């Protein structure tokens, strides 16, 4: 567990160690490491020292890390994998988290760090999009926009200095990183738990009396399964006052099941790498995922006309914390002023809270315009996660493949009968694939590319493969 004093001392130790190793404040440093207390200290230490920070998921191939470092213009890489040395250019230095945090020659102080120099950087933070729907993009945000977004988030969520925040998320992405900054901003403590293993993380949360938990909807499904089998564990987690989620759409049946099991709501959140946090359900209004202060959200039809509450359309956001731009072949492509196209679809509730359905991927089928993610959102009324994959058979002719996560591996014919109760004939699937579990990215999101590969493969072959039960 990292206390505010321990975190402040760690950031000072890291800043001193960076200077001793020749890192300059005007440089960019790429950080790629697993979740740890050291990761949090290094992240905030880099901010304290004033360097630009590029974040990349750990476990990436060395060649990809080298390309990312070159794209971001990073002079240094901080990684726990010494094998990365071979792929880095001669002008790029390699450091480890341990050598920066455990250096006995540099002692930190408990004084609260200042991030003034980092805030002034236009390239304060460089992150890559998840790549769940295509090639990852290098997204550049100013330091000040990141800090302002953290301030807006803290106001909405009402974090307290006596909170113990437990992120079940990778720190190398926008969502997980923001929880480190929120702990620093509010003076809360931070609990480092094994985010990929809820069976190990939940007892740790109970032992330390965590008060705030953040995780993706996929992780909360695993949490629910654990709590059903271990009711004593559910009781031991009674100190948690906010269970928060984001990173993927929150469907109604998961929201309802969680409230029934725990007696507490799941607080929905919506954000992006490009904009930071956009809309959050706070403890004062847990049912409404409302835009943060200063953020304006519109939902429009395909012609750009505003839609009334309850109608699904494209989500556009005007936010003061929008990215500076994206890196294309090492050159910054500035963000176009005005409303930002999120490429998501969703709808507004009667209080103008935002409900995200999924990605904007319209297809035309049998004279109708359909949004596959909206079909998946409705399909999940049957009680299991669903992803709808459109597969082009001929130009402008699409097959719909419904991919279902069902640990019981129920027969596809049974699922087809359920879907007939929900969908019109033109919305029904051409093919159904049943998986025991969806493949996932390191972020906890579904691996949309891998799911698509499975769907496409099962439109070509009549017989099921080992991982699927198609019809």
Bridge partners of residue 399, in order along the sequence: 391
CA 434 to the chain's CA centroid: 25
The continuous run of DSSP H or E covering 42 comes out as: helix 37-49
Tens of pLDDT, residue by residue over 115-151, are 999 999 999 999 998 655 456 789 999 999 999 999 9
pLDDT at position 134 is 54
**Using CA atoms, how far apart are residues 184 and 190, in angstroms rounded to an integer?**
9
Pairing of β 397-405 and β 431-435: parallel
The pLDDT-based confidence of 453 (bands split at 50, 70, 90) is very high
The pLDDT-based confidence of 462 (bands split at 50, 70, 90) is very low
Mean predicted lDDT score pLDDT of the chain: 90
List all residues 6 or more positions away from 200 whose beta carbon is below 8 Å from its beta carbon.
193, 194
Exposure b/e, 6-40, CB count within 10 A at least 16 = b: bbbbbbbbbbbbbeeeebebebbbbbbbbbebbbb
**Using CA atoms, how far apart are residues 256 and 427, in angstroms rounded to an integer?**
26
Bridge partners of residue 178, in order along the sequence: none
pLDDT at position 471 is 43
pLDDT at position 113 is 80
**Using CA atoms, how far apart are residues 62 and 373, in angstroms rounded to an integer?**
34
Domain 361-460 class?
alpha beta
Q: What is the mean pLDDT of residues 172-198?
A: 95
pLDDT at position 297 is 97
Q: Which residue bears the tokens 């027969």? A: 411
List all residues 6 or more positions away from 44 whose beta carbon is below 8 Å from its beta carbon.
7, 10, 11, 14, 113, 180, 181, 184
pLDDT above 80: residue 223 = yes
| Secondary structure E strands in 110-211 | 125-128, 138-141, 164-167, 189-190
Per-residue tokens: 98 = 């341990």
Tens of pLDDT, residue by residue over 325-351, are 999 888 899 999 999 999 999 999 988
> Of 15-24, 176-185, 311-320, 365-374, which range is least confident?
365-374
pLDDT above 70: residue 268 = yes
Q: What is the mean pLDDT of residues 425-438?
A: 92
Q: What is the mean pLDDT of residues 363-368?
A: 73
pLDDT above 50: residue 468 = no
Which strand ranges, in their side-by-side order, compose the sheet holding 313-318?
296-300, 313-318, 340-348, 354-359
Q: What is the mean pLDDT of residues 282-300?
A: 96
Please give the span between the terminal C-alpha atoms of the chain, in angstroms, as a whole number. Answer: 49
pLDDT at position 370 is 83
User: Of residues 82 and 179, which shows the higher confidence score?
Assistant: 179
User: Of residues 275 and 370, which shows the higher confidence score?
Assistant: 275
**Using CA atoms, how far apart are residues 422 and 379, in angstroms rounded to an integer?**
7
> Of 217-231, 242-256, 275-289, 385-399, which range is least confident?
385-399
The pLDDT-based confidence of 463 (bands split at 50, 70, 90) is very low
The pLDDT-based confidence of 395 (bands split at 50, 70, 90) is low
Bridge partners of residue 240, in order along the sequence: none
Tens of pLDDT, residue by residue over 22-44, are 999 999 999 999 999 999 999 99
**Measured CA distances, 419 to 52, 99, 302, 404, 431 (Å):** 50, 56, 27, 12, 12
Per-residue tokens: 416 = 């087809």
* pTM, full prediction: 0.84
pLDDT at position 367 is 66
Question: Percentage of the chain surpassing pLDDT 70?
Answer: 93
Greatest alpha-carbon span in the chain = 71
Are residues 343 and 359 in contact, defined by beta-carbon separation less than 8 angstroms? yes
Q: Is 81 exposed, middle or buried (0-12, 13-18, 19+ CB in 10 A)?
A: middle
Residue ranges of the domains in the chain? Answer: 4-355, 361-460
**Using CA atoms, how far apart are residues 453 and 471, in angstroms rounded to an integer?**
16
Query: Which of 105, 104, 220, 211 lies closest to 169, judged by CA?
Result: 220
pLDDT above 80: residue 365 = no
Domain 4-355 class?
alpha beta
The continuous run of DSSP H or E covering 305 comes out as: none
């Amino acid at each position: 567990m990292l206390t505010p004093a321990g975190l402040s001392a760690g950031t000072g130790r890291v800043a001193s160690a960076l200077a001793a190793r020749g890192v300059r404040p005007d440089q960019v440093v790429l950080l790629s490491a697993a979740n740890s207390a050291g990761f949090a200290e290094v992240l905030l230490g880099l901010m304290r020292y004033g360097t630009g920070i590029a974040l990349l998921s750990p476990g990436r191939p060395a060649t990809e890390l080298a390309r990312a470092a070159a794209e971001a213009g990073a002079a240094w890489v901080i990684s726990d994998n010494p094998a990365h040395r071979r792929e880095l250019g001669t002008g790029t230095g390699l450091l480890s988290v341990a050598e920066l945090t455990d250096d006995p020659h540099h002692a930190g102080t408990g004084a609260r760090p200042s991030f003034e120099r980092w805030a002034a950087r236009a390239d304060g933070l460089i992150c890559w999009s998840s790549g769940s729907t295509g090639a990852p993009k290098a997204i550049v945000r100013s330091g000040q926009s990141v800090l302002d977004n953290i301030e807006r988030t803290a106001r909405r969520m009402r974090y307290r200095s006596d909170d113990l925040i437990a992120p079940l998320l990778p720190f190398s992405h926008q969502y997980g990183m923001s929880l480190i900054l929120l702990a620093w901003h509010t003076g809360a403590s931070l609990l480092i738990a094994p985010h990929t293993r809820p069976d190990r993380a939940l007892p740790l949360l109970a032992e330390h009396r965590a008060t705030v938990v953040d995780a993706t909807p996929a992780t909360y499904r695993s949490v629910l399964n654990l709590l059903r089998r271990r009711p004593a564990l559910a009781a031991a987690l009674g100190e948690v006052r906010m269970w928060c989620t984001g990173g993927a759409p929150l469907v109604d049946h998961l929201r309802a099941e969680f409230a029934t099991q725990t007696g507490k709501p799941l607080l929905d959140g919506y954000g992006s790498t490009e904009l930071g946090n956009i809309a959050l359900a706070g403890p004062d209004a847990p049912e409404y995922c409302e835009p943060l202060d200063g953020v304006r959200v519109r939902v429009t039809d395909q012609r750009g006309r505003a839609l009334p509450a309850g109608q699904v359309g494209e989500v556009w956001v005007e936010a003061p914390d929008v990215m500076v731009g994206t890196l294309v072949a090492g050159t910054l492509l500035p963000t176009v002023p005005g409303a930002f196209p999120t490429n998501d679809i969703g709808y507004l509730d009667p209080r103008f809270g935002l409900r995200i359905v999924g990605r904007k991927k319209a297809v035309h089928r049998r004279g109708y315009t359909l949004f596959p993610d909206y079909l998946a959102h409705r399909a999940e009324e049957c009680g299991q996660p669903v992803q709808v994959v459109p597969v082009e058979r001929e130009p402008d002719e699409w097959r719909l493949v419904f991919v279902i996560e069902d640990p019981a591996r129920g027969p596809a014919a049974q699922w087809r009968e359920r879907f007939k109760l929900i969908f019109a004939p033109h919305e029904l699937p051409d093919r159904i694939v049943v998986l025991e579990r969806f493949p996932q990215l390191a972020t906890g999101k579904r691996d949309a590319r891998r799911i698509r590969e499975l769907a496409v493969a099962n439109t070509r072959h009549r017989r099921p493969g080992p991982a699927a039960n198609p019809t």
